[in-house]
Amino acid sequence: MQVAQFTAYTDIVIIGQNAEMADYSNPKGYVYGFSAYVCAVSESGDTRIKHVVSARWEAEAMAKAEAQAAALNARLALGKLPVGFDSWEAGRAVYGSEAYEAYGQADDVELERREEFAY
């Protein structure tokens, strides 16, 4: 994969559990936070992702991921990829890209089908 750039993003995740916080809308008392990731994107839209950190606050998690993405972009400008890049998890194709048209759209349809019948 020929990387064009590194970006950062967050996702909402469960970071803990506190039974005292349980109620009708959260019966198990989950504590939610944010996981931050660095995403390598190719010109064709293929991606690979690496988890950076999980934190209670999005700004805290995003700041660490953006700092790492900036450092990786500086390294990329020197023609170098991160150490262990081959072990990064394959991500979803960027919406509307060549990769999305080639296989990403089919992945989305399959994901929707699995989620539809999961209930």
11's tokens: 């996702």
Name the phi and psi angles at 76, rounded to 5.
-65, -35
Name the phi and psi angles at 5, rounded to 5.
-165, 165
Are the beta carbons of 51 and 91 closer than 8 angstroms?
Answer: no
pTM, whole model, 2 decimals?
Answer: 0.84
Rounded CA-CA distance 105/115 in Å is 15
pLDDT, one tens digit for every residue, the chain (119 residues): 899 999 999 999 999 999 999 999 999 999 999 999 999 999 999 999 999 999 999 999 999 999 999 999 999 999 999 999 999 999 999 998 999 999 888 888 888 888 888 66
